[in-house]
Amino acid sequence: MSTKTLRIENLHVSVEGKPILRGVNLTINQGETHALMGPNGSGKSTLSYALMGHPNYEITDGTAYLGDVNLLELEADERAKAGLFLAFQYPTSIPGVTMANFLRHAVTNVRMPDRKEGEDLISMRDFRKELKQKMDELGMDGDFARRYLNEGFSGGEKKRAEVLQLAMLQPAFAILDETDSGLDIDAVRVVSEGVNRVAKAQGTGVLVITHYQRILNYIQPQFVHILYGGRIVENGGPELVTTLEREGYDWIRAKYPQEARVEDELEASASAVV
């Protein structure tokens, strides 16, 4: 299988008329692991939602291609079928819908993108077997499959459930939005190992969005980017993580005064909303 590239160029995104991303450039090849870091409100989650196709995130300029597929022309479900996956920071709950039932629909759609609505789902037997194996690998109890999707899940269970979905859907590219938040160190390790296993087996290109170095000890990025004031201002290798950990964002602030102003504005309006 030829490796694909996720290519984001000059991406501008507004939410409710307010510009959040102001020209993001990012290129990820399959098989690579990238980390995207940045302070709260820098637009990290906006990037993940916009790429996945949330209707409230308006693309005002720029392009995003997965291989030769123009993602911005597609609905969210078509983007999933094209090979994009987002592990949500705050996965929503769907009462009454079991994890297993939901995942069987999801896996069927993603693996058989040409299937017409109403045609058979993937075989229950094969699906169950595969699900059980993936759950075992993630140290998840068998009960999990019968629970309602994210309903009453603890923070850690939600994140694990996201990685289980990643493992079942085997995408070409995965964005992990703050997958480490709310997890204790053991859970970070288990979840990270899960991501690494999928990435290795599928040659998945991974974009880890995070605040902290912690998860990057387990999912080791070759490339690190800093998002600040709606733009990627620094690109580097793992050493950038160490620098951030040691010095925080003050030096970024000093180095990019214009982005710092944007950042302050966004923070002010965000806290006004809260």
Partner 1 sequence: MSTDLGAQVAGIKEDYKYGFRESDANYNYKSGKGLNRHTVEEISEMKNEPQWMREFRLKGLETFQQKPLPQWGGNLNDLDFQDIHYFVRATDRQGKSWDDVPAEIKRTFDKLGIPEAEKKFLAGVGAQYESEVVYHSLREDLAAKGVIFTDMDSALRDYPDLVKEYFGTVIPINDNKFAALNSAVWSGGSFVYIPAGVKVDIPLQAYFRINAENMGQFERTLIIVEEGAQVHYVEGCTAPIYTSESLHSAVVEIIVKKGGRCRYTTIQNWANNIYNLVTKRAVAHEDALMEWVDGNLGSRLTMKYPAVYMVGKGARAEILSIAFAGKGQHQDAGGKVVHAAPYTTSRIISKSISKHGGRSSYRGLLKVADGAYGSKSNVVCDALILDPQSRSDTYPYIEIDEDDVKIGHEASVSKIGEEQLFYLRSRGLSEAEAATLIVNGFIEPLVKELPMEYAVEMNKLIELQMEGSVG
Binding site for partner 1 (CB under 8 A): 52-56, 75-77, 79-81, 85-86, 88, 91-92, 94-97, 101-102, 105-106, 109-110, 113, 117-121, 148-149, 165, 169
- The least distance separating partner 1 from the CB of residue 226, rounded to whole angstroms, comes to 26
Rg, C-alpha atoms of the chain: 19
CB closer to partner 1, 85 vs 228: 85
Query: Positive or negative, the Cα torsion across 147, 150, 156, 161?
Result: positive
CB closer to partner 1, 161 vs 252: 161
> Residue 216 carries which side chain, given as an amino acid letter?
L
- The least distance separating partner 1 from the CB of residue 52, rounded to whole angstroms, comes to 5
What are the backbone dihedrals phi and psi of residue 166, each rounded to the nearest 5 degrees, phi first? -55, -45
- The least distance separating partner 1 from the CB of residue 13, rounded to whole angstroms, comes to 15
Report the distance separating Cα 168 and Cα 171, nearest Å. 9
- The least distance separating partner 1 from the CB of residue 89, rounded to whole angstroms, comes to 12
CB closer to partner 1, 127 vs 249: 127
CB closer to partner 1, 14 vs 165: 165
In terms of C-beta distances under 8 Å and separation of at least 24 residues, what long-range contacts does 50-56 make, across chains too? 50/11, 50/13, 50/21, 51/8, 51/79, 51/84, 51/86, 51/175, 52/76, 52/79, 52/84, 52/86, 52/175, 53/79, 56/15, 56/16
CB closer to partner 1, 106 vs 233: 106
- The least distance separating partner 1 from the CB of residue 147, rounded to whole angstroms, comes to 12
Asked if 212 contacts 198 with a C-beta cutoff of 8 angstroms, the reply is no
Asked if 82 contacts 74 with a C-beta cutoff of 8 angstroms, the reply is yes
- The least distance separating partner 1 from the CB of residue 187, rounded to whole angstroms, comes to 21
CB closer to partner 1, 70 vs 217: 70
